């Protein structure tokens, strides 16, 4: 193989709650993303019980989830919520700022934004559908036609330019009502409602959308049960149950799509940060396998191979987790295996058997042991292009299914110059180095990679901090972290660079 395949799906990625805004327009219901503040600027100050003070500053930027408990209002840190007991009922509070409510107003600007994607030469556009636009509380019998129309318009606009949509059914939002009533995915009944929602949109759009993903970063439930699954509690049993329910939901929907529309391609999506052993000590190597299995492979193995792996069953037993399995579940998982594997890749991690005195690097959602061989972004995410090639090799070797890199990128502060330009050579460097490694994985290692859609192709709201100033885009959007600004779109230097990358099918990396 000489280079990228001719049908390689170059593009960019976003998610409904991080770009659309219009959080209560045209019948949309409130979602779990609508009760999340912008990190660092909330009126609430939150203490994390037992947190070592040396990590405090890293947590100050994390966004909060606001709630009401017996008439009192409170807030909890989104990402570390797994350390809290059951909280009250998540709700919107007066005078708090919720960045997703307006986001970048894609809802009213989608035509202009998709036109810019077309100018970049996108072959694909990864986006998500907001469940709450279709079923506002999740419980309605009849879908909201206005919500369905919106996505019809978005897909039609993509099709005008020959852009293939890649659609995530659940990207970090779900009806808030289900979180309040049932603790989200902790309740088995949520599977049925998800199935109803997924069927509705697959039936409606199967001629317009070929590539689907069930859950975004399904393994991120480890870091935030609320963000990923609407679970407002820290109970390990509940979180494992919720996670299992999501995988059953994913399998049911995958089977439905395959049976009804055989040409559709359904994928799972995993946050992929493979661990390097800290040293050649046997203990560190064993720890790398252990943590990789429990944090990552469990999810891929279940959705790609179709059964719960032995190491996870042993883990349940060791921790006294007694999952509610039902008779048909085994068949459901077996019948609902995915066609391809999508990953987000931002960084690798480090596994240490005996972590005392080792330094951490805070990466918003996750906390990793610091790897002294790598640089890090302004938000502490360690940068490792070779790690992407490593990741692709591990995945392909394990499953032999095509891999779609549906997220990768650098969150950075950008400056809009007076003449409307943005110079972002740091972003170009980051992406160039990662693209080179993808190419090596394809050409040297024989890995089958379907496409590459860098995250936040247009600036959007960060999921972990709520900031827009943590920018990923090729397109600058003129808003600040409080939503002030004109909302105008500007092409960054990286816009022109990425356009050339795509038009040369990855051969011209501008070096
Ligand atoms: C992934 C999520 C995205 C996205 C990205 C960047 O984990 O799937 O939704 O936001 O990370 O993270 P952040 O927004 O925290 O910078």
**How many CA atoms are closer than 13 Å to the CA of 208, on its beta-carbon side?**
21
Higher pLDDT, 365 or 437: 437
Higher pLDDT, 301 or 58: 301
Residue 120: helix, strand or coil by DSSP? helix
For residue 214, the model assigns a pLDDT of: 98
Query: What is the rounded distance in angstroms from the CA atom of residue 458 to the CA atom of residue 114?
Result: 10
For residue 245, the model assigns a pLDDT of: 98
Q: How far is CA 287 from CA 107, 276, 365, 382, in A?
A: 45, 10, 21, 20
At 389-409, the pLDDT tens digits run: 999 999 999 999 999 999 999
Active site annotation includes 358: no
Is ligand 1 within 6 A of the CB of residue 217?
A: yes
Query: What is the rounded distance in angstroms from the CA atom of residue 306 to the CA atom of residue 238?
Result: 22
For residue 369, the model assigns a pLDDT of: 79
pLDDT for 364 beyond 70: no
Residue 337: helix, strand or coil by DSSP? coil
- The answer to whether the beta carbons of residues 144 and 134 sit under 8 Å apart is yes
Active-site option among 20, 164, 407, 437: 407
Residue keyed to tokens 């001629």? 207
Residue 308: both structure tokens together: 């719960």
Percent of the chain with pLDDT over 70: 92
At 94-150, the pLDDT tens digits run: 989 999 999 999 999 999 999 999 999 999 999 999 999 999 999 999 999 999 999
Of 55-64, 202-211, 465-474, which gets the smallest average pLDDT? Answer: 55-64
**How many CA atoms are closer than 13 Å to the CA of 436, on its beta-carbon side?**
12
Pocket test for ligand 1, best of 455, 459, 461, 469 (most atoms within 8 A of CB): 455
Residue keyed to tokens 């959308």? 209
Query: What is the rounded distance in angstroms from the CA atom of residue 451 to the CA atom of residue 456?
Result: 16
Pairing of strands 72-77, 64-69: antiparallel
pLDDT for 82 beyond 60: no
Provide the residue count of the chain: 511
CA of 152 to the centre of ligand 1 (A): 26
At 477-501, the pLDDT tens digits run: 999 999 999 999 999 999 999 999 9
| Helix or strand run (H / E) with residue 340 | strand 340-344
Cross-strand partners of 68: 73, 89
CA of 283 to the centre of ligand 1 (A): 32
Q: Where residue 58 falls among pLDDT bands split at 50, 70, 90?
A: low
- Domains of the chain and CATH, by start: 9-32+100-347+382-503 (3.20.20.80)
For residue 496, the model assigns a pLDDT of: 98
For residue 278, the model assigns a pLDDT of: 92
Give φ, ψ of 273 to 5 degrees. Answer: -130, 75
The protein residue whose alpha carbon is closest to atom 3 in ligand 1 is 463
State the average pLDDT over residues 30-44.
Answer: 86
At 158-183, the pLDDT tens digits run: 999 999 999 999 999 999 999 999 99
Query: What is the rounded distance in angstroms from the CA atom of residue 479 to the CA atom of residue 481?
Result: 7
- The answer to whether the beta carbons of residues 438 and 387 sit under 8 Å apart is no
Residue 48: helix, strand or coil by DSSP? coil
The protein residue whose alpha carbon is closest to atom 15 in ligand 1 is 464
Query: What is the rounded distance in angstroms from the CA atom of residue 298 to the CA atom of residue 177?
Result: 29
Q: Where residue 86 falls among pLDDT bands split at 50, 70, 90?
A: low
For residue 83, the model assigns a pLDDT of: 53
At 179-234, the pLDDT tens digits run: 999 999 999 999 999 999 999 999 999 999 999 999 999 999 988 889 999 998 77
Query: What is the rounded distance in angstroms from the CA atom of residue 201 to the CA atom of residue 214?
Result: 12
pTM of the model: 0.96
The protein residue whose alpha carbon is closest to atom 10 in ligand 1 is 463
Angle at 469 between CA 377 and CA 128, to 5 degrees: 95
Q: How far is CA 165 from CA 18, 33, 159, 168, 336, in A?
A: 17, 23, 8, 10, 22
Concatenating the DSSP letter of every residue in 1-35 gives --SS-TT-EEEEE--HHHH---TTSTTPPPBGGGG
Residue 37: helix, strand or coil by DSSP? coil
Higher pLDDT, 313 or 359: 313
Average pLDDT of the chain to the nearest whole number? 93
Query: What is the rounded distance in angstroms from the CA atom of residue 74 to the CA atom of residue 183?
Result: 18
For residue 247, the model assigns a pLDDT of: 98
Q: Where residue 378 falls among pLDDT bands split at 50, 70, 90?
A: confident
- The answer to whether the beta carbons of residues 215 and 169 sit under 8 Å apart is yes
Active site annotation includes 217: yes
Residue 366's CB is within 10 A of a number of other CB atoms, namely: 21
pLDDT for 358 beyond 70: no
CA of 282 to the centre of ligand 1 (A): 33
- The answer to whether the beta carbons of residues 61 and 481 sit under 8 Å apart is no
pLDDT for 34 beyond 80: yes
State the average pLDDT over residues 362-380.
Answer: 76
**Residue 356 burial class via C-beta count within 10 angstroms: exposed 0-12, middle 13-18, buried 19 and up:** exposed
Active-site option among 96, 217, 287, 437: 217
Q: Where residue 56 falls among pLDDT bands split at 50, 70, 90?
A: low
The protein residue whose alpha carbon is closest to atom 16 in ligand 1 is 462
State the average pLDDT over residues 450-476.
Answer: 96
For residue 365, the model assigns a pLDDT of: 52
Closest atom of ligand 1 to 465 CA is 15
Is ligand 1 within 6 A of the CB of residue 216?
A: yes
Going 423 to 424 to 429 to 435, the CA torsion angle's sign is negative
């Amino acid at each position: 193989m000489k280079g990228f395949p001719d049908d390689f799906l170059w593009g960019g990625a976003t998610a409904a709650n991080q770009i659309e805004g219009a959080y209560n327009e045209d019948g949309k219901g409130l979602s779990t993303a609508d009760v999340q503040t912008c990190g660092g600027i909330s009126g609430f100050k939150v203490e994390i019980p037992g947190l070592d003070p040396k990590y405090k500053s890293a947590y100050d930027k994390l966004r909060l989830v606001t709630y009401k408990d017996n008439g009192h209002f409170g807030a909890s840190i989104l990402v570390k919520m797994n350390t809290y007991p059951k909280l009250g009922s998540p709700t919107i509070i007066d005078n708090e700022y919720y960045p997703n409510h307006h986001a970048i107003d894609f809802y009213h600007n989608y035509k202009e934004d998709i036109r810019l994607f077309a100018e970049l030469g996108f072959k694909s556009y990864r986006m998500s559908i907001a469940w709450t636009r279709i079923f506002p509380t999740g419980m309605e019998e009849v879908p909201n036609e206005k919500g369905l129309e919106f996505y019809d318009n978005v897909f039609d606009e993509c099709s005008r330019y020959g852009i293939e949509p890649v659609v995530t059914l659940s990207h970090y939002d779900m009806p808030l009502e289900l979180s309040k009533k049932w603790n989200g995915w902790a309740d088995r009944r949520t599977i049925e409602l998800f199935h109803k929602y997924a069927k509705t949109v697959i039936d409606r759009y199967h001629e317009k959308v070929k590539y689907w993903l069930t859950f975004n970063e399904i393994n991120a439930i480890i870091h935030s049960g609320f963000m990923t699954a609407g679970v407002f509690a820290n109970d390990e049993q509940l979180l494992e149950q919720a996670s299992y329910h999501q995988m059953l939901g994913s399998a049911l929907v995958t089977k439905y799509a395959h049976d009804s529309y055989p040409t559709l391609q359904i994928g799972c999506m995993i946050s992929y940060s493979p661990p390097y052993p800290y040293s050649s000590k046997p203990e560190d190597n064993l720890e790398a396998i252990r943590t990789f299995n429990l944090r990552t492979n469990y999810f891929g193995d279940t959705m790609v191979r179709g059964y719960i792996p032995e190491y996870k069953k042993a883990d349940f037993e060791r921790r006294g987790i007694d999952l509610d399995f039902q008779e048909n579940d085994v068949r459901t998982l077996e019948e609902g295996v995915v066609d391809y594997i999508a990953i987000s890749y931002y960084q690798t991690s480090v596994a240490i058997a005996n972590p005392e005195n080792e330094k951490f690097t805070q990466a918003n959602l996750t906390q990793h042991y610091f790897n002294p061989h790598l640089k890090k972004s302004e938000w502490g995410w360690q940068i490792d292009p070779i790690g992407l090639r490593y990741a692709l090799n591990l995945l392909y070797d394990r499953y032999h299914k095509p891999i779609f890199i549906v997220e990768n990128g650098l969150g950075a502060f950008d400056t809009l110059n007076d003449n409307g330009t943005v110079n972002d050579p740091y972003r170009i460097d980051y992406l160039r180095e990662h693209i080179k490694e993808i190419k090596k994985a394809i050409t040297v290692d024989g890995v089958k990679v379907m496409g590459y859609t860098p995250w936040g192709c247009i600036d959007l709201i960060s999921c972990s901090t709520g900031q827009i100033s943590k920018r990923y885009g090729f397109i600058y959007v003129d808003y600040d972290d409080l939503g002030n600004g004109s909302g105008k779109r500007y092409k960054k230097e990286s816009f022109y660079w990425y356009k050339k990358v795509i038009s040369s099918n990855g051969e011209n990396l501008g070096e």
